[in-house]
Amino acid sequence: MRRRRMYLATAVMAAVTLVVASVPAEAAMQEDRQWREVFSPDGTITPMLLPKERATTSSLSQSTLAAAAVVTIQNTGPSNARFDLVIVGDGYTSSEMGTLRQHAQSKWNEIAATAPWSTYRNSVNVWLVEVVSNQSGVDNDPYQGVYRDTALDMYFWCSGIERLLCLNETKAQQFASQAPGVDAIVAVGNTTKYGGAGYPSLATVAGGNAQAGRVAIHELGHSVGGLADEYWTAGTTYTGGEPSEPNVTKSSSCSKWASYLGRSTPDGGVIGCFQGGHQYNYGIYRPSSDSLMRNINKPFNLVGLDVMDRAIRSKISGGTTTCTGYQSTRTDSLASGATAYQPDGTYYYSTASGTHRACLDGPTGANFNLHLQKWNGSSWATVASATSTGPDETLTYAGTSGYYIYQLQAVSGSGAYTFGYTVP
């Protein structure tokens, strides 16, 4: 009987339990233990002090790595101009590669249906590395004491948490490196039991469970967008410097996301300055009452959504905006200092509440801005703006039904542009 329980996990899990980041720095850490966040069935998060796992430095042979075929789930273009998501499997035998493919496709479908991945799904490459295991399934499934010989050593009951699904991170990284490009990694296990975990470099999910993909989506918020968790531990107070993460701040004015204040947000309500976040109860603020970074059953709030949008887009076409994946697109040109209105010089009507998304791809060297306006009964009022100093902009707005129009401005420079937009 083999080995394991020696692999590092910054874990996440959601259903009965799940684990991921560290809690307050001043919390007393025992040398052999560390804090992990545990997700409850309703998506809320509670920190737990769990035993540390040791990282392994084992290296797989080139022949072992070469034996794992790389299968295309989706190829939208060259890796240097696309976001590359790599899926690796564990606990699938040679006769179960079809099952692995089904599980991988299902997890990508769930990710791709979630904003902002839904906007860029046609600019993401998805590679599946067919890792073959000697035995089917994962350890401690359906109960503790069941062991299987698998390639990535995946197992439930990690650190004593039933649904925390850990693995050998080093091996998973080595297999993933066989893909043409690697921007994010998701490891799927051959199990129907709800579970998962988050590591610095990847997320694990139960391949055969239809809801487990939310774990990966939350973890991609950390690894792709650099977002902080927005939950807190009761009674704790933040005393450090200004956090580097874009969705938490120690400033009670929340000037870090000043341009978003008062705007509707997909997770409900409006963007504001809500005390609590980054695992602390006091002395720290988050943008919204609830969001995916606090509860995995929620969508990203507007701040996190735009951060993720920029992070994904930065991998596509060298960071330029391609405006693909939108319901409608328009092309035209603007002279320096000029203003245009889209679609086609007029407005559109949204019959339902929901998220409006737009993209502007302007000429190199120009400074183009993008504004969304809504008719308030007597005039057009700007409800959302994207005003970077470059030619490309993306904009997201959660609004009610009504009449809307986009205003495009050439602050400096001139040339052709592509404009894409999606309505609720």
Confidence of residue 1 (pLDDT cuts 50, 70, 90): very low
Q: Going by DSSP bridges, is the β-strand pair 124-130/83-90 parallel, antiparallel, or unpaired?
A: parallel
- Rounded Cα distance between 301 and 307, Å, is 10
- The reply to whether 99 and 185 lie within a common domain is yes
- The reply to whether 279 and 411 lie within a common domain is no
In a domain, 8, yes or no: no
- Rounded Cα distance between 121 and 114, Å, is 10
**What is the mean pLDDT of the segment spanning 412-420?**
88
**Does 351 score more than 80 pLDDT?**
yes
Q: Going by DSSP bridges, is the β-strand pair 402-412/367-375 parallel, antiparallel, or unpaired?
A: antiparallel
List the beta bridge partners of residue 128: 71, 87
- The reply to whether 274 and 364 lie within a common domain is no
The CATH number for 341's domain is 2.60.120.380
- The reply to whether 302 and 380 lie within a common domain is no
User: Among 181, 215, 249, where does a domain finish?
Assistant: 215
Contact 419, 354 (CB under 8 A): no
- Rounded Cα distance between 76 and 335, Å, is 33
- The reply to whether 171 and 190 lie within a common domain is yes
Residue 358: partners with Cβ closer than 8 Å, 6 or more residues away: 326, 370, 372, 386, 394, 395, 406, 419, 420, 421, 422
- The reply to whether 340 and 267 lie within a common domain is no
What's the longest Cα–Cα distance across the chain? 75
Q: What is the pLDDT of residues 311-334, one digit of tens each?
A: 888 888 655 556 777 888 888 889
Q: How many domains does the chain have?
A: 3
Q: Measured in Å, how far apart are the chain's first and last C-alpha atoms?
A: 55
DSSP per position, 25-47? TTS---TTEEEEEEE-TTS-EEE
Which of 37, 54, 55, 56 lies closest to 46, judged by CA? 37
Residue 149: partners with Cβ closer than 8 Å, 6 or more residues away: 2, 133, 134, 135
Residue found under tokens 């693909």:
324
Two tokens at 69? Answer: 């075929």
- The reply to whether 68 and 169 lie within a common domain is yes
Contact 333, 415 (CB under 8 A): yes
List the beta bridge partners of residue 380: 375
Contact 120, 225 (CB under 8 A): no
**What is the mean pLDDT of the segment spanning 234-257?**
94
Task: Specify the pLDDT at position 45.
Answer: 63
In a domain, 256, yes or no: yes
The CATH number for 143's domain is 3.40.390.10
Q: How far is CA 418 from CA 187, 342, 361, 370, in A?
A: 36, 11, 5, 12
User: Among 282, 313, 344, where does a domain finish?
Assistant: 313
Among 1-5, 6-10, 208-212, the range scoring the smallest mean pLDDT is 6-10
- The reply to whether 205 and 82 lie within a common domain is yes
In a domain, 47, yes or no: no
In a domain, 53, yes or no: no
**Residue 414 exposure: Cα atoms within 13 Å on the Cβ side:** 6
Contact 415, 371 (CB under 8 A): no
Confidence of residue 7 (pLDDT cuts 50, 70, 90): very low
- The reply to whether 196 and 73 lie within a common domain is yes
Residue found under tokens 């190199």:
364
Q: What is the pLDDT of residues 110-162, one digit of tens each?
A: 999 999 998 888 889 999 999 999 999 999 999 999 999 999 999 999 888 88
- The reply to whether 190 and 333 lie within a common domain is no
Q: What are the start-end ranges of the H helices in 131-237?
A: 169-176, 213-223
Q: What is the pLDDT of residues 364-377, one digit of tens each?
A: 778 999 999 999 99
- The reply to whether 326 and 265 lie within a common domain is no
User: Among 187, 215, 243, where does a domain finish?
Assistant: 215
DSSP per position, 290-306? S-TTT-TTSPP-HHHHH
Expressed as residue numbers, the domain containing 133 is: 62-215
In a domain, 24, yes or no: no
In a domain, 26, yes or no: no
Two tokens at 204? Answer: 């694990």
- The reply to whether 348 and 382 lie within a common domain is yes
Task: Specify the pLDDT at position 39.
Answer: 54
H helix or E strand, kind and range, residue 119: helix 117-120
In a domain, 196, yes or no: yes
In a domain, 6, yes or no: no
Beta strands in 207-287 (DSSP E): 232-237, 274-277, 279-286
